[in-house]
Structure 1
Amino acid sequence: MTAWLQVGLLVLALALVHVPLGDWMARVFTAERHWRVEKLAYRLVGVDADAEQRWPTYLRSVLAFSLVGVLLLFSLQRLQALLPLSNGMAPVEPSSAWNTAVSFVTNTNWQGYAGESTMGHLVQMAGLAVQNFVSAAVGLAVLVALVRGFVRRGTDRLGNAWVDTTRAVVRLLLPLAVVATVVLVLGGVVQNLRSGTDVTTLGGGSQFVPGGPVASQEAIKELGTNGGGFFNANSAHPFEGPSAWVSLFQVFLLLLIPFSLPRTFGRMVGDRTQGLAILGVMGLLAAISVSLLSGFQAGALPEGQETRFGGPLSALFAAATTLTSTGAVNSMHDSYSPLGGMVTLFNMMLGEVAPGGVGSGLYGMLVLAVVAVFVAGLMVGRTPEYLGKKLGRREMTLASLYILTTPAIVLVGTAVAVAVPAGQAGMLNDGPHGLSEVLYAFTSAGNNNGSAFAGLIAGTTFYNTALGLAMVLGRFVPIVLVLALAGRLAAQGKAPATAGTLPTHRPLFAGLLTAVVLVVVGLTYFPVLALGPLAEGLS
């Protein structure tokens, strides 16, 4: 009964905010006027906010912005000992600093370190938390550029990347984060600038309890589907997740924007039913995942789960965090049953499109929708069209490369890691479970999720470097393909609908899109799943 109540409250809350938040985001990215604070930001960086960009220029802006973010965050970590509010922390080791910088800039937030014993408050606030905002904003900007590709006709302009990212931060992420921070503080999440406090334990001993600006980072960690925790235990830590209702509120935060974006999509393309069809597919896939994971965990031992939360809330959190690109955890996924762990893996292997990360989930689903329309076109023998745009050879080449990129990163990375001595040295387990742990790490990195399976010593030079490369490729190669696709679509006119046009707002298309998502992923990853979690679960 508790599990059903939690899911019911979550669905009700998401339904209540879906329309107003979705409509607001549509207005944010279609408004013609700039706010004063935004104009000031544009002047400071020398950007002409009224100049629209072709897709290669839009892409260069995104890449340049992200590269600067990596360099700044890497420098903050390496110079940490010289900075105020360092709490006596030493400079972060180079390979770990590289991995962390790439991780937070790519919205992955994979952490091969313990936050409370590695990062000072200034690095947490000015480095990690800032990237939580801007990496999410980059995902939204790329999504908006793709939607404009469907909407615009006969143009090579997709908007302005600097304007889109600035508006995403100023008009959306910052206001929501302020409200969420207040709620989290009221719920008992820590928010201060203290290094920590010495307390007397129940046994009469002394223990140092760390403090810090936790609630403010926790808010954007979930809202931006980032996932990087202030503490090593992430949302299972009592200072990050002090109670069950706070943990459920965090699930709401990480689903808030991704489940509202289909409404934004429908408003921007001028057909709200298109957004409803996408939302229906996302909701169906999410419901299947939560049901399977809850069922597999119902009879499992409660090892690795916080007793304050219980099994149902742990399973709901695990499903939500791997269906999005969040990576936050309130339980240890390595302690799940083999089939339960396989569900969390499969959620990420879906490409995190149900509903996926902020921006990235919806643009991934739209690429899969393009593939679904193409498959339907092959069935009836006519040129496929989606939202009035014809899908020819070049468009399908870009969509196909998008689908193949992440599996190639994940499978090649996993194969190399289990084959070379440096990768084997980090494996604490052998057999199917050891393979699952390595596979989970590269799946998490390649899909920009950031959650960890544990049981793997990932803080070595080999894994810091390899997983860092997986994060970079998994983030920016798809972005290149999405923006190139957006440019191709925007250059077209609009094909008139005919009797042979496939309606993409009806249940038939939603079912076809669901099948494409599951079949594409199943055919790609089934062999390695059979060798890892499936073999362990059936043994």
Structure 2
Amino acid sequence: MNANTFTQTAIFLVVLIALAIPLGRYMASVFEGTSAIVRKIGRPIESMLYRIAGVDPEAEMSWKQYALAVLLFNVLGAIVLYAILRLQGLLPLNPQGMSGMTPDAAFNTAISFVANTNWQDYGGESTLGYLAQMLGLTVQNFLSAATGIAVVIALIRGFKRHSAQTIGNFWVDLTRSTLYVLMPLAIVFALVFVSQGAIQNFKAYEDVPTLQATTYQAPKTDAQGNAVKDAKGNPVMQDVKVDKQSLPMGPVASQESIKMLGTNGGGFFNANSAHPFENPTPFSNFMQMLAILIIPAGLCITFGRMVGDGRQGYAVLAAMTIAFAVACVGEISAEQAGNPLFTSLHVDTHASALQAGGNMEGKETRLGIAQSGIFTVVTTAASCGAVANTHDSLTPLGGLIPMLLIQLGEVIFGGVGSGLYGMLAFALLAVFVAGLMIGRTPEYVGKKIEAFDMKMVSIVILLTPLLVLLGTSIAVLTEAGRAGIANPGAHGFSEILYAFSSAANNNGSAFAGLSVNTPFYNTMLAIAMWFGRFGTIVPILAIAGSLAAKKRLAVNAGTLPTHGPLFVVLLLGTLLLVGALTYVPALALGPIVEHLTMIAGH
């Protein structure tokens, strides 16, 4: 890494943490009900929403009731979104006359956005009208993110409370997440993106003249669209002149802001955040990266504040920040190293004195390798999946890093809510391992960690590897799975492994060289997305209920401190040993083999 790259990474982390600390404190006051905004400004709106929904905000839920509410709410959301996608040809605000999605594509997309994955195997500007984008996708961007925040707040209450049978009210947590956290931030970031040039309108697509005309030959057709053939049966060719281009329009900035803040990642356009209408400038790129991580980082502070020991939150935040910085160094270094085959051919790949050269394939020249590399780490460290460059064009090691970040469980900052509750599951595992080493019952934040808790932690940690590895195995063993491979060999395997890793861990990014808009992949990936999301939420809520029912233990001489450097190292070690080693055999067949092949000159 050169000085420019190091500076950009350092500035990003400093700004992120500086903004996350006050945001985390604010979120703690929101969910504890002590914020003046909640008590004085938002109370009438909040009360009105509860009356309309028929919700008693004072009635708290057991963990089972909370989990049932989460599941029912999201099942209903998936059904509504599926209907919108199937029927969009009949709906208004569809100036281009987009037809409804096919059943399997609508099923996949509905599950994807409800599960906070936003996996997209379609081009947004060529598939969805404005109403489907706003009423369908953007609404779920808010609600799926609010669900993740609500679940982690319930888990935090489990640590905070003692001898309690309830962990809060899902409807209250969902409302406050949306009303006081997501909506205000989304408005601010949308205005920032508009100021940078992101579009926000309801116009029909506009045809603009190109700088020069292009002429090419194409088969001639009759009035019915049938190919015209000559006497020998060969198609008759004709010159086609292209002197204009159709530019897609739409309410982009508003969807862009919540797509990032909610770690959703689904782009309005097929090119996602590489599209200049979504991400116009280097400053907007910086703000998008900031938007992705600001709430996950802030929730670490919220955790410390709500459990009454701020050091606990800072320890988790420190572990995430260290892992993130190491990933940035590895990612940018791998891309700046480029392909050694170019060096052997005496090809100079350096762009300028300030921007080290290397692998610029699939990257925006206005962003360069440094910002593209940081964005790649940001979007895969969080379960966002937005992309500012093509992941399929990364070097083998450059592709290994984002894949591994996803496979770790999306806990290095991670998704909104899901990142923290995933990391806290690893924290429970870390103190359990430490307890085994010294022969003492493990404790974390004053709560004894017992057999039931560890069973639930095991489900949380092992479920996604099961979905990833089983799904990948089925895909490579079946004809329907192999049919989507365009790049045979190690890279083709990497594309399948990345797809199932992204789906099961609710990331949504892709290597993109794999044809996945088929009934096989739409169904298989939807299953992975649903169980990857809700198959972990239910045991997390079970842990919350178990912890809330326990007494708070006083600190004594045998208590393992979980707020210092030693615990940070222990947490990172547990994350790598348990989270990463599960995938080593699969990674060896994909990006590692591809890298060894590349450096061997093949």
Query: TM-score, length-normalised on structure 2?
Result: 0.89
CA offset digits 1:261-293 (Å, max 9, x no partner): 111000000000011100110001101111100
Q: In structure 2, how many angstroms separate the alpha carbons of the residues matched to 1:293 and 1:407?
A: 23
Q: Is the 8 A contact 2:151 2:541 kept in 1?
A: yes
Alignment partner, residue 239 of structure 1: 277
Q: Which moved more, 1:433-442 or 1:516-525?
A: 516-525
2:24 maps to 22
Q: Measure how far apart 1:9 and its partner are.
A: 2.7
- Greater shift in the superposed pair: 317-326 or 42-51: 42-51
The list of structure 1 runs, each at least 4 consecutive aligned residues, that deviate by more than 4 angstroms after superposition, is: none
- The alignment status of 1:522 with 2:580, answered yes or no, reads yes
Per mean C-alpha deviation after superposition, the further-off stretch among 7-16 and 125-134 is: 7-16
Residue 432 of structure 2 is aligned to residue 394 of structure 1: no
Q: Name the SS of the counterpart of 2:270 in structure 1.
A: coil
- Over the aligned positions, Cα root-mean-square deviation in angstroms equals 0.9
- Answering whether residue 526 of structure 2 is matched by residue 478 of structure 1, we say no
Is the contact made by 1:132 and 1:224 (CA closer than 8 Å) also made in structure 2?
yes
- Cα distance, 1:302 vs structure 2: 1.1
Q: CA contact under 8 A between 1:6 and 1:248: conserved in structure 2?
A: no
2:53 is the alignment partner of 1:45: yes
Deviations 1:444-475 (A, max 9, x none): 00000000111100100100000000000000
**1:65 aligned residue (64, 67, 73):** 73
Q: Contact between 1:124 and 1:230, CA under 8 Å: does it hold in 2? A: yes
Which one is further off, 243-252 or 371-380?
243-252
State whether residues 218 and 230 of structure 1, in contact with CA within 8 Å, keep that contact through their aligned partners in structure 2: yes
**1:159 corresponding residue in structure 2:** 168
- Distance apart, 1:365 and its partner CA: 0.5
Name the amino acid aligned to 2:122: Y
Q: Distance in 2 between matches of 1:313 and 1:2?
A: 10
2:90 match: 82
Q: Paired residue for 1:416?
A: 474
Instruction: Output the CA distance in 2 between the equivalents of 1:523 and 1:207.
Output: 49
CA distance in 2, matches of 1:168, 1:491: 25
8 Å contact from structure 2 (residues 9, 328) kept in 1: no
SS in 2 for 1:242: coil
Query: Is structure 2 residue 248 aligned with structure 1 residue 210?
Result: yes
Corresponding position of 2:334: 296
Aligned equivalents of 2:203 and 2:326: distance in 1? 43
Counterpart of 1:269 in structure 2 is 307
Q: In percent, how many aligned pairs have the same letter?
A: 52
TM (norm. structure 1) is: 0.99
Matched, 1:118 2:124: no
Cα distance in 2, alignment partners of residues 16 and 154 from structure 1: 36
Comparing 325-334 with 15-24, greater Cα deviation is found at: 15-24
Could you give the per-residue CA deviations for residues 31-74 of structure 1, whole angstroms, max 9, x where no partner exists?
A: 06562111111111111111000001000111111011101100
Mapped to 2, the partners of 1:209 and 1:89 lie a distance apart of 16
Q: Which amino acid aligns with 1:284?
A: I
Q: What secondary structure, in the 3-state scheme, does the structure 2 residue paired with 1:203 have?
A: strand
Q: For 1:30 and 1:447, locate their aligned partners in 2 and report how far apart those are by CA, in whole Å.
A: 29
Deviations 1:409-434 (A, max 9, x none): 00000000010010011111121111
Asked if structure 1 preserves the Cα contact closer than 8 Å seen for 2:382 and 2:415, the reply is: yes
Q: SS state of the match for residue 245, structure 2? A: strand
Question: By how many angstroms is 1:522 displaced?
Answer: 2.6
Amino acid at match of 2:70: V
What secondary structure is seen at the aligned counterpart in 2 of 1:527?
A: helix
Q: Secondary structure at the match of 2:212?
A: coil
Superposition deviation, residue 14 in structure 1: 1.2
Give the drift of 1:401: 1.4
**Structure 1 residues 319-364: Cα deviation after superposition (integer angstroms, max 9, x where no partner):** 0000000000000011000111010100001111111000000000
Instruction: Deviation per CA, 1:373-425: give whole Å up to 9, x if none.
Output: 00000111111111111111111111111111000000000000010010011
The superposition leaves residues 71-94 of structure 1 with CA deviations (integer Å, 9 ceiling, x where unpaired) of: 110001111011111120001111
Q: 1:195 aligns with which of 195, 200, 204?
A: 204
Bigger shift: 9-18 or 99-108? 9-18
The Cα of 1:12 is off from its aligned counterpart by: 2.6
Verify the 8 A CA contact 1:150 1:486 in the aligned structure 2.
Answer: yes
- Give 2:566's aligned residue: 508
Distance 2:456 2:132 in 1: 38
**Cα distance in 2 between the residues matched to 1:400 and 1:31:** 33
User: 2-side partners of 1:58 and 1:427: how far apart?
Assistant: 42
1:343 aligned to 2:401? yes
Which residue of 2 is the match for residue 252 of structure 1? 290
Gaps in structure 2 of 5+ consecutive residues: 214-242, 339-358, 598-602
**Deviation per CA, 1:191-212, whole angstroms, max 9, x where unpaired?**
1011211101101411110100
Q: Distance in 2 between matches of 1:126 and 1:6?
A: 37
Q: Indicate whether 1:172 and 2:230 are aligned.
A: no
CA–CA distance in 2 between the matches of 1:277 and 1:337?
A: 33
Aligned positions of 1:118-157 closer than 5 A: 118-157=127-166
1:280 matches 2:318: yes
Residue in structure 1 matched with residue 546 of structure 2 by the alignment: 488
Q: Matches of 1:189 and 1:5 in 2, distance apart? A: 27
Q: Secondary structure of 2:211's partner?
A: coil
Matches of 2:65 and 2:259, distance apart in 1 = 29
Amino acid at match of 1:433: H
Letter in 2 for 1:382: R
Query: 2-side partners of 1:5 and 1:286: how far apart?
Result: 15
Aligned equivalents of 2:140 and 2:166: distance in 1?
27
Residue correspondence of structure 1 range 418-437 to structure 2 within 5 A: 418-437=476-495
Partner SS, residue 246 of structure 2 = strand
Q: Aligned equivalents of 1:91 and 1:354: distance in 2?
A: 37
Deviation, structure 1 residue 496:
1.8
Structure having the higher helix fraction is 1
**Residue 15 of structure 1, CA deviation:** 2.6
User: 1:16, CA displacement in angstroms?
Assistant: 2.2
Which aligned pairs between 1:358-377 and structure 2 lie closer than 5 A? 358-377=416-435
Using the TM superposition, give the Cα deviation of residue 299 of structure 1 relative to its aligned residue in structure 2, in angstroms.
Answer: 2.1
| Contact in 1 for aligned 2:426/2:574 (Cα 8 Å) | yes
**CA separation in 1, counterparts of 2:313 and 2:49?**
32
Query: In 2, distance between residues paired with 1:67 and 1:149?
Result: 25
